[in-house]
Amino acid sequence: MSDVNSTTPDWRSEINFDDKGLIPVLAQDASSHRILMVAWMNRDSLEQTIDTGKAVYWSRSRDRLWRKGEESGHEQIIDEIRLDCDGDVIILMVKQMGGIACHTGRASCFYRTLQNGQWVEVDPVIKDPDKIYNLD
């Protein structure tokens, strides 16, 4: 190991996980730069994301690792990983397989805009969720 490497802090030490050991992660489309979704990672899921080159989140509702696309096939291929100044938010720049990130069958989870005091759905459903998740 070189002197440079031995004196450079480990990348993990720069990350400030919260009191539950989690960090919020934004997935952004590397081509369109659209924000696709926000999820959570723990240290294990982040390490697996880096090792495999595909997004692996921590599902708070299911309390387990969530390999994005494991059911839908809508994997996210990692292009770049960024960290913010406080070390407490991560951006994944990704290639979104299938062009659908949201469980509602839309490109992005952010499909509602505020217009005159109402949330208005402005993005189409690309694929019926029943056809995404019920494959048999």
User: Which residues are near a copy of itself by CB under 8 A?
Assistant: 8, 10-11, 14, 24, 26, 28, 32-35, 37-38, 50, 80-86, 89, 91, 102-104, 106, 109-114, 117-119
Q: Which is nearer to a copy of itself, 3 or 136 (CB)?
A: 3
Q: How far apart are CA 67 and CA 111, in angstroms?
A: 23
CB of 67 to a copy of itself, least distance (A): 20
Compute how many other C-beta atoms are within 10 angstroms of the C-beta atom of residue 44: 12
Q: Least distance (Å) from a copy of itself to the CB of residue 38?
A: 5
Six-digit token pair at 41? Answer: 């990672």
- 43: amino acid identity, one letter: R
- Considering beta carbons, is residue 3 or 86 the nearer one to a copy of itself? 86
Shortest Å, Cβ 73 to a copy of itself: 19
Say which DSSP state 14 is in. Answer: G
For residue 122, CA distances in Å to 26, 36, 114 come to 21, 14, 10
Name the minimum Å distance from CB 103 to a copy of itself: 7
